[in-house]
Amino acid sequence: MKNKYLLTVLFASMIVGQVWAQKEFDFSAICSSGQELYYKINTWESDSCTVSVTYPYYSKVASVYTYYYGWNKPSGDLIIPEAVTYKGKEYFVENIMGYAFYDCSGLTSVVIPKSVKRIGAYAFHNCKSLKSVSIPESVISIGDDTFSSCESLESVNIPNTVINIGCRVFANCNKIQFNEENDVNYLGNADNQYYALICAKSNEKTTYEINSKCQIIAGGAFSNCNALKSITIPNSIVSIGDWAFNGCICVSEITIPESVTTIGASAFARCGLKTIDIPNSVTSIGDYAFNSCVELKSVKISNSVRKLGNRVFEGCDQLQYNEYNNDKYLGNNENPYLVLMRAAIQDTCTINIYCKFINSKAFYNHSQLKVVSIPESVTSIGAEAFFGSGLLSITIPNSVVYIGDGAFMGCESLSMVQVPESVTEISNNMFENCGSLTSIIIPNSITKIGTQAFLFCMNMTSVVIPNSVIEIGVSAFAGCNRLTTVEMSNSVVNIGKSAFQNCSKLRSIIIPNSITSIEQNTFENCRGLTDVSISDSITYVDASAFSRCDNIVYNTYDNAYYLGNAENPYVILVKAKSEEIMSCEINEKCRIILSSAFRNCKTLTSVMIPKSVIGIGNSTFYNCSALEKIVIPKTVTSIGEEAFSGSYMAEICCEAKEIPKGWASTWNQKGGIVVWGYEIDDVNEGNGENENNPGTAVDEFDANTVNIYAHRNTIFVENVTDEIRVYDAMGRLVGKDEVHTVSTINVDKSGVYIVRIGNNAKRVFVNW
């Protein structure tokens, strides 16, 4: 059957500006109102049945950030579903992620389902046509700038379930009808129109009166009200948002009522406060809550506080402390030792048995410290608490549930540490530059290993990732150049960029079935790596993932090198055997052709892409200037930047009828002629032969009996007993001859041809 050209032949266009993009969703689906929405499975739960609505693609084009580059933005009246089905499994829509509908200027209304709990920062930023939004009573948190610059938005109801509203949520929403009272803007609902204090109308007043029905002070509500001297917070308030009174330098005293449970990050930073009494109702104090209150001398913190943020009182240099063994504490009348703020410089430290929090930087750069005794009363160790200390070993009690970022960073003598099962996360930079740490037992309670958690732990030799871990962060084990073995379970669904970069002694790695993508530089410069196993579940591998891993033993097929697993050695085509190859038959089990795999293969004239392939990377066929024709099956759902750039002689025949969404806009920049809707005959699949298909199996003839060679534009065949058929690289019959002592077939141009005689065939290259 002859191939058909169904649609117009097009030339790929050239776009100006550099593009960087990254797919951000796991799947998409059409909702009842007709728009295509994009979802990310919530991987913090190993058996999660929830998803978040997100944006499809994060791009940077000519210094402009966009979240729908090359993708259709939802528009019109949108109804977000409560649940969505993917691969036969039902997922409930739990969150709307930050930037999910960023700059979707065609949206006119949005209905949010009752399953949604959180709406992220900038989720609907600059949705200029959005007039109404329905927020259900399930929502508990609304992030920073969520509806900022929605210039058509007229009204919003804030349900009584919301306990946190970020900064600038309704900035530049000039049509919103706020409920105004005493120069303060409120939003609420039918039952309480003053539920949430959004912002002061002016920053020039010296005093404000808050409505007695108000329950939430939104983020930044009075930020930089430099003239403000006094304000009364009523007993109705339960939450004071991030940056709520930040920079109110003239406020010297304030009473926090017993109704307040949450004080947000930087809520009173840079205020003129002299004293502060945190009541028993408060359970959570955010990072930097009282940072740089330079006049602050007296603080009382109640025993009810369960979460104390990092650097809460940093820059409060006049604070008066309670002392125990020369260490400085903050607390209250019943317990003066609630928070260890600053430890004395000494070899040994015994922390007070009533201490609950070890403050950020409590032992910062205490190189003399060798031993510390942490009592069972401690529940939290702040960020950089032991940064740069001389600790040799440490036992963390089971009472500790939180350890902050960089808690033991730079503890170069720390050789032994036991993380208790009460902790659920190895935080960012927790053990970075702990050069004496040889191994660590990660308990089964850990779900995430943070960014640079073990960066440059240069004596660590082995690590076992338990079944509880879902995510391994960016550069988590980078620079661990004595690490020889890593064991990962199928619980891990995400390995961050550069996670094992420069682990030069790592010998083998098994990527579990749960992993679908391997990001930039993940195993770069792992020069000792020889054995790599990658499952068929993989959908994306960055070109740099295994760069400079010079000792990897690849699987070979025809003219290319592959990585895979015991059942399928050909999952990923990594690279061509050399730049001098003239043809390549890609294995029919291959799923991904890696970026730059055939880059600068200037003699390559033909390549066969099977229907098993789903992805082609960046610059894969870049500068393949002799490539004559290539057929891309519709199974290929992603093609990277400039994949065919410089292949200007090629005729690129795409089975798809139009460019798929997953193909980068520059996939064929300065490339070849594109034919859309090209029919691939099913009869030609596999090794089947017909009039226009020589089959894919190519067996060499016995050189002693049959002689096949080419001179100029003529193919010569000697000593045959069957009919001779000659096909071009794309499987088209170009000539045949009867049996002669010497048979000759003339061809029209240079390239790779297949000579088939009976059940045998041979490739021959014609160059003239």
Q: What is the CATH number of the domain that holds 101?
A: 3.80.10.10
At residue 283, does pLDDT exceed 90?
yes
What integer pLDDT is reported at residue 297 of this predicted model? 97
For the cut 70, the answer to whether the pLDDT of residue 543 exceeds it is yes
- Taking Cα atoms as reference points, which of 51, 122, 60, 123 lies closest to residue 85? 51
CB 256 within 8 A of CB 282: yes
What's 138's DSSP letter?
Answer: T
Q: Which of 541, 503, 510, 543 is nearest to 525 (CA)?
A: 503
* Amino acid 61: pLDDT: 58
Name every residue whose Cβ is closer than 8 Å to that of residue 47 and which is 6 or more positions away in sequence.
Answer: none
Is 147 a domain residue?
A: yes
Q: Alpha-carbon distance 374 to 355, whole Å?
A: 9
Q: Is 691 inside a domain boundary? A: no
User: Regarding beta strands 19-23 and 57-61, do their DSSP bridges make them parallel or antiparallel, or are they unpaired?
Assistant: antiparallel
Residue 528 in domain: no
What gap in Å lies between CA 651 and CA 725, rounded to an integer?
24
DSSP for 64-108, please give it.
EEESBTTSPPP-EEEE--SEEEETTEEEEEEEE-TTTTTT-TTEE
517 inside domain: no
Domain count, the chain: 2
* Residue among 411, 372, 387, 222 at smallest CA distance from 310: 387
Q: What is the pLDDT of residue 15?
A: 26
In one letter, which amino acid is 540? Y
Q: How far is CA 83 from CA 16, 79, 86, 112, 201, in A?
A: 40, 12, 10, 12, 40
pTM for this entry: 0.81
Half-sphere exposure of 399 (CA within 13 A, CB side): 16
Beta-bridge mates of residue 761: 756
Q: Report yes or no on 97 lying in a domain.
A: yes
Last residue of a domain, one of 154, 177, 200: 177
Is residue 677 in a domain? Answer: no
Question: Is residue 435's pLDDT more than 50?
Answer: yes
- Tens-place pLDDT, residues 253-276: 999 999 999 999 999 999 999 999
Quickly state the pLDDT bin for 725 (edges 50, 70, 90).
Answer: confident
- At which of 177, 210, 241 does a domain end? 177
Cβ–Cβ < 8 Å for 129, 149: no
Closest CA to 251 of 225, 218, 281, 221: 225
Three-class secondary structure of residue 147 per DSSP: coil
Identity at 269, one-letter amino acid code: A
What CATH number is associated with residue 741?
Answer: 2.60.40
Residue range 405-427, pLDDT digits in tens = 999 999 999 998 989 999 999 99
- How confident is the prediction for the chain on average, in pLDDT? 89
- Residue 149 belongs to a domain: yes
For residue 112, is it within any domain?
Answer: yes
Q: What is the mean pLDDT of residues 677-688?
A: 57
Q: Is 629 left (phi over 0), alpha (psi -120 to 50) or beta?
A: beta
The last residue of a domain, from among 109, 142, 177 = 177
Is there a contact between 290 and 273 (Cβ–Cβ < 8 Å)? yes
Name the residue range of residue 723's domain: 707-766
Q: What is the pLDDT of residues 495-539, one digit of tens each?
A: 999 999 999 999 999 999 989 889 999 999 999 999 999 999 998
Higher pLDDT, 229 or 762: 229
